[in-house]
């Protein structure tokens, strides 16, 4: 007996039969709109293609060396930005499956939501926000992630960016993980062109266009709260008895218990057009976030290098900006690599590749923006190596 091959047409038919009302179909022309024309794939739906494009991108690979909470940890078991993204994808897939939503869409949004995060976690983001503000620009990792997939990750000859669907780009831009709203509804009237108008002021206010985007936004919170608690226990920053009783009683103590409790409550209180948690769980979530903020995120272990990060990132930004200015004046980056006294050639070789292969129109873009883009794309480890190469004297 021959085996049935589920090509794209068959998968799209299964979506219409299987997904619940309110789910996003990969045949929806508004949600699957791309910035550049792309012929359909034989076997993958549009959202599956986006997932593949993201996980094969260099920006995704770099996340394995980017800080989640603890800067450049020597403990290999502490969470990295890549692991966090995979955790979000796992949580979001569980929720989407239970609600009859598009699992491929939530997976694509989840793996791409933090592509624009700066090195050194949220401290690195704060430093770049200050630098950007002084330059008359804006920086936040949500919109930088959108900039990465739209402009900076250019692996295709015929266009810049990954050319993702509107639904995935929107979910990435609107994944805001710091706020803990009790209810979250999608903005189903949103149009693709609205993403170009988003600014830093819209963080936390702009709602995702799809229920799947809302799922990822919630899954981001679910994934990091328990895991950050687990990492703090690993480092002995806290003990189990320190966790507030309201969290222990309603959510649990382990990462697995917390994830299970939050998913269960979310599924019990949500419907086809709104994600919601109970008042009790919402209160517990805020208590856990407050506890993590005071005992983990502001702890000496998490903040001990903050002043160094500020000084180093500011110096790196200014150095790279001046190199870019010089290259723009000459109209070429090649001479910079051999210029006497310019510093380490490895760091600048990577910069040259970034400008010529990724940005392409770098000669006409603001040097401040390009320098921010380059520094934001660095991993913790590459930044340290580059800083050593550029700023430490070398023996003759």
Q: Which of 112-121, 151-160, 348-357, 368-377 has the highest mean pLDDT?
A: 368-377
Task: Specify the 3-state DSSP secondary structure of 29.
Answer: coil
The pLDDT confidence band at residue 76, using thresholds 50, 70 and 90, is: low
Mean pLDDT over residues 72-76, rounded? 54
217 vs 222, higher pLDDT: 217
**Structural tokens at position 225:** 């709260």
pLDDT for residue 1 = 57
The SS3 call for residue 389 is helix
CB-based contact 263:94 (threshold 8 Å): yes
Residue 341 pLDDT = 45
Name residues whose C-beta falls within 8 Å of residue 252's C-beta, 6 or more positions apart in sequence: 258, 260, 261
pLDDT tens sequence across 285-315: 899 888 888 888 777 776 667 788 899 999 9
pLDDT reading at 31 higher than 80? yes
**pLDDT tops 80 at residue 200:** no
For residue 46, pLDDT over 90 is answered with yes
pLDDT of residue 72: 56
Q: Give pLDDT tens digits for 351-368.
A: 988 998 888 889 999 999
Average pLDDT, the chain: 87
Q: What is the pLDDT of residue 340?
A: 41
pLDDT at 73: 55
| DSSP H stretches of helix in the chain | 8-18, 46-55, 58-62, 81-99, 103-112, 121-134, 141-147, 166-173, 211-234, 245-250, 255-269, 279-292, 300-303, 306-330, 334-338, 345-353, 367-377, 380-391
What gap in Å lies between CA 369 and CA 30, rounded to an integer?
30
Portions of the chain given CATH number 1.10.3210.10: 14-115+153-301
**Distance set, CA 36 to CA 41, 158, 345, 365 (Å):** 15, 9, 35, 21
pLDDT for the residue numbered 232 = 78
Crossing angle for the helix pair 279-292 and 255-269, nearest 10 degrees?
Answer: 150
> Residue 256: is its pLDDT beyond 80?
yes
Question: Which pLDDT score is estimated for 74?
Answer: 56
Q: Kindly indicate the confidence band of residue 77, based on its pLDDT and cuts at 50, 70 and 90.
A: very low
Residue 128, both tokens: 């770049």
The pLDDT value recorded for residue 205 is: 74
pLDDT digits (tens, 9 = 90+) for 219-251: 988 887 877 787 777 777 778 888 888 888 898
Instruction: Pick 14-115+153-301's CATH classification: 1.10.630.10, 1.10.443.10, 1.10.3210.10, 3.40.50.720.
Output: 1.10.3210.10
CB contact burial 271-299 (16+ within 10 A = b; e otherwise): eeeebbbeeebbbbbebbbebbeebbbeb
pTM for the model stands at 0.93
Q: Quick count: other Cβ atoms within 10 Å of Cβ 257?
A: 13
In contact, 214 and 185? CB cutoff 8 Å: yes
pLDDT at position 260, please? 92
Residues 6+ apart with CB under 8 A from 332: none
Rounded to whole angstroms, the Cα distance separating 182 from 42 reads 41
């Amino acid at each position: 007996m021959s085996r049935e091959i589920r090509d794209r047409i068959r998968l799209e038919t299964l979506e219409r039969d299987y997904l619940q009302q309110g789910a996003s179909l990969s045949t929806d022309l508004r949600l699957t709109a791309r910035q550049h024309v792309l012929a359909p794939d034989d076997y993958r739906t549009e959202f599956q293609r986006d997932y593949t494009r993201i996980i094969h991108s260099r920006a995704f690979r770099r996340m394995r060396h980017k800080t989640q909470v603890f800067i450049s940890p020597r403990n290999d078991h502490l969470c990295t930005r890549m692991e966090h993204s995979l955790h979000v994808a796992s949580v979001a897939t569980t929720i989407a499956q239970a609600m009859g939503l598009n699992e491929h869409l939530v997976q694509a949004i989840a793996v791409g939501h933090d592509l624009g995060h700066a090195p050194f976690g949220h401290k690195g983001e704060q430093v770049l926000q200050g630098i950007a503000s002084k330059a008359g620009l804006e920086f936040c990792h949500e919109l930088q992630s959108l900039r990465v997939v739209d402009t900076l990750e250019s692996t295709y000859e015929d266009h810049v960016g990954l050319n993702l669907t509107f639904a995935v780009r929107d979910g990435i831009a609107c994944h805001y993980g710091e706020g803990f709203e009790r209810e979250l509804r999608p903005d189903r009237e949103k149009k693709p062109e609205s993403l170009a108008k988003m600014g830093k002021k819209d963080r936390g206010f702009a709602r995702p266009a799809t229920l799947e985007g809302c799922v990822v936004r919630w899954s981001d919170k679910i994934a990091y709260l328990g895991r950050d608690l687990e990492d703090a226990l690993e480092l002995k920053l806290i003990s189990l008895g320190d966790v507030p009783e309201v969290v222990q009683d309603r959510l649990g103590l382990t990462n697995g218990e917390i994830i299970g409790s939050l998913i269960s409550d979310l599924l019990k209180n949500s419907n086809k057009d709104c994600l919601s948690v109970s008042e009790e769980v919402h209160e517990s979530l805020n208590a856990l976030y407050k506890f993590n903020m005071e005992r983990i995120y502001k702890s000496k272990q998490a903040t001990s290098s903050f002043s160094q990060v500020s000084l180093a990132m500011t110096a790196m930004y200014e150095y790279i900006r001046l190199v870019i200015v010089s290259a723009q004046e000459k109209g070429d980056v090649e001479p910079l690599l051999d210029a006497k006294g310019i510093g380490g050639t490895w760091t600048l070789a990577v910069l040259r590749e970034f400008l010529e292969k990724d940005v392409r129109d770098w000669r006409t873009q603001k040097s401040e923006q390009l320098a921010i883009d380059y520094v934001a794309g660095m991993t913790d480890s590459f930044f340290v190596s580059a800083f050593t190469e550029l700023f430490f004297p070398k023996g003759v």
